Amino acid sequence: MGDRRPSVVLTGFMGTGKTTVGRVLAERLGYEFVDTDAIIVDRHGPITEIFAEHGENHFRTLEREVAAELAERDGLVVSTGGRMLVDPVNADVFERHHVVVALTATPDTIFLRVGGDRAAESRPMFAGTDVRSRIAELLAERSAAYARFHQVATDDRWPNQIADEIVALVDHVTADDTRRPT
């Protein structure tokens, strides 16, 4: 990677700290922070409306467009939507030149962070379900996709501690890449 400043791409389930940690990490690295869901909302309107009017497939197409665009840029901390890198196309495009980190947390931690049972009122994926059970189910479904990336646990840790670990990881990965022949 030489003189490049590879972006750091954060993935993981909702409530693992992608946005909070991402902002701290961007400040530490002197990078710009971007959130893929916020980009989509700015360009196309609320995600709930995109799903309602155009369907999930259209939303996933928008995610692919944003992933391809951001993968061309260096010096970013990218917070992705929780399912964005479950799509192997998006995962591949980011992994090609950037450091991808999956933030993890236990179902109990996520349950507390997303507002407990009240999450069913504000998050459609939890409507009419037992929130804690649904979190565990979705984590199990996504675990194989997240497993391909560097893992950083966020349970019982402050955002600055997590950011420090990611900075060390990025330093290690980029140092390894500069020693590889091109």
Does residue 156 have a known ligand-binding role? Answer: no
The label of the residue with tokens 């980190």 reads 101
Confidence category of residue 181, pLDDT binned at 50, 70, 90: very low
> Please, which pLDDT band fits residue 3 given cuts at 50, 70 and 90?
low
Note the pLDDT of residue 47.
Answer: 87
Q: Would you say 128 is a known binding-site residue? A: no
**Ligand-binding site membership of 22 (annotated):** no
Q: Is 17 annotated as a binding residue?
A: yes
Question: Is 73 annotated as belonging to a binding site?
Answer: no
Does the annotation place 37 within a ligand binding site?
yes
Q: What is the mean pLDDT of residues 107-136?
A: 85
Confidence band, pLDDT 50/70/90 cuts, at residue 130: confident
- 43 among annotated binding-site residues: no
**b or e along 132-157 (b: 16 or more beta carbons within 10 Å of the residue's beta carbon)?**
bebbbebbeebeebbeebbebebeeb
Asked if residue 177 belongs to a known ligand binding site, the reply is no
How high is the pLDDT of residue 136?
Answer: 95
Q: Flag whether 19 is marked binding.
A: yes
Mean pLDDT value of segment 8-34? 97
User: Is the per-residue pLDDT at 131 higher than 80?
Assistant: yes
Give yes or no for residue 119 having a pLDDT over 90.
no
Task: Report the percent of the chain where pLDDT is more than 70.
Answer: 95
| pLDDT reported for residue 178 | 53
142 is in an annotated binding site: yes
Q: Domain 8-174 falls in which CATH fold?
A: Rossmann fold (3.40.50)
The pLDDT tens digits of the residues spanning 34-80 come to 999 999 999 999 988 888 899 889 999 999 999 999 999 999 999 99
- C-alpha dist (Å) from residue 120 to 44, 83, 132: 25, 18, 10
Reply yes or no on whether the pLDDT at 1 is more than 60.
no
Rounded to whole angstroms, the Cα distance separating 27 from 104 reads 21
Q: Is 16 annotated as a binding residue?
A: yes
> 30-39, 81-90, 108-117, 119-128 — which is least confidently predicted?
119-128
Band of pLDDT at residue 180, cut at 50, 70 and 90: very low
Q: Give the pLDDT of residue 40.
A: 96
